[in-house]
Amino acid sequence: MKVQNKILIVDDEPIILFYIQDLLGTVGNYIIESVDSGEKALDILSAFKPDLILLDIQLPGMDGYEVCRKIRSDDQYRFTKIIMVSGHARVNERLRGYEAGADDYIAKPFDNEELLAKVRVFAQLKNKEEVDQVKGDLLTLITHETRTPVSGIIGCAELLANDPSLSEEGRELAVLIAKSGQQLFQFMKNAVLLCKLKAGIELHYNPEPVTGMLANVINNLVEDHQDDEIRVITDFDDAIILQADWPLLINVFRMVIENAYKFSPRNGTITVTSRSENGMLIVSVTDEGEGVEPSMREQIFDEFAIKDVAHHQKGQGISLAICRYILHYHNGTIHVEGEPGSGATFVVKLPLREIEGIRE
């Protein structure tokens, strides 16, 4: 059974109320309420909780603009969609409606198919936005509630791994438990970060030397992967300074280089380079893994792109998606090059902004 969306119609003309109710009733998938004033609309909101409101502009007493502003001032209706309805199609009216918080506009007399299409699309959009919010809230809650127990598991496992009285097999199992706990904890952190990026964040820029930031990332990863016996070669342009939200951007370089570790063979080599070209910072990370099939070169940057883990996408399937989101915020890009069987090169490009007091 399909979900029945709730629609509130607000219009002071009885014939319009009847007409819209009859039209929507032909679809048979909506629960409909109607009122003839803005005050009545606000009174019914808390009890009815509409998914979508068809709101006439020219109402007696409180007009549609004021009603819209009052609804938008209450955070519990942030997902409720509002379509303004008017007998005029003037641009200034539409702009006032958008400024008041309306999602769309339709003029009387309206086309039946257009009205039904708008109602259907905005009802679906409202449902999707709510589901996305629930997903984000749930991931945040899970991460918060599991942080302490997972940290406890990791800590105890690391103590056991260093216990000389434990057998070699026991220590190996303890190391495995610790690594698995760390992977789980990192996945939860990444999932929450992805939700925040999709919801929208504010960047805080500061200038930092690219070489130093990359070196810090590489040093930490080399220590984490010292048992893999993978060599990292670097070739950096030490003169490059980049304006960026570095606490956020550093995740891109960490995830891309971590990705190279995942797909590098034992005793393999990872090459990391940086250079400036035509006002752009270009950072390349090359591994000696199996490479990426041409058909997968865009898909691997999608969320949970794990249809085929053989195509350079081990792990949870969100790290590269996070990279693309972060770079989008910085007006940057990421793509992958290389032939299958000959390794992969991930290329990150970011615009270099002129920094006051510094000349390249």
pTM for this prediction = 0.66
CA distance 180 to 174: 10
CA distance 272 to 213: 13
DSSP state of 73: T
Partners of 6 in beta bridges: 31
Q: Name which of 90-94, 113-117, 331-335 the model is least confident about.
A: 90-94
Q: Give 89's pLDDT tier (boundaries 50, 70, 90).
A: low
Residues 6+ away with beta carbon under 8 Å from 96? 65
Q: Which residue has the higher pLDDT, 299 or 243?
A: 243
Do residues 281 and 240 touch, judged by C-beta distance below 8 A? yes
CA distance 31 to 118: 16
Q: Convert 288-323 to b/e letters by CB count within 10 Å (16 or more is b).
A: bbbbbeeebbebbbbbebbeeeebbbebbbbbbbbb
Q: Give 310's pLDDT tier (boundaries 50, 70, 90).
A: very low
| pLDDT at 306 (0 to 100) | 55
Question: Chain-wide mean pLDDT for the chain?
Answer: 87
pLDDT at 312 over 50: no
**Which burial class, exposed, middle or buried, applies to 124 when counting CB atoms under 10 A from its CB (0-12, 13-18, 19+)?**
middle
Do residues 84 and 62 touch, judged by C-beta distance below 8 A? no
Across 64-192, the runs of DSSP E, i.e. the strands, are 81-86, 104-107
pLDDT at 64 over 70: yes
Across the chain, the runs of DSSP E, i.e. the strands, are 5-10, 30-35, 52-56, 81-86, 104-107, 206-209, 231-235, 241-244, 269-277, 280-286, 333-337, 345-351
| Both structure tokens of 31 | 């629960």
> Which contiguous run of DSSP H or E holds residue 247?
helix 246-263
Q: How far is CA 339 from each of CA 272, 301, 348, rounded to the nearest angstrom?
A: 18, 18, 18
Q: Which of 256, 339, 332 is nearest to 297 (CA)?
A: 339
| pLDDT at 4 (0 to 100) | 82
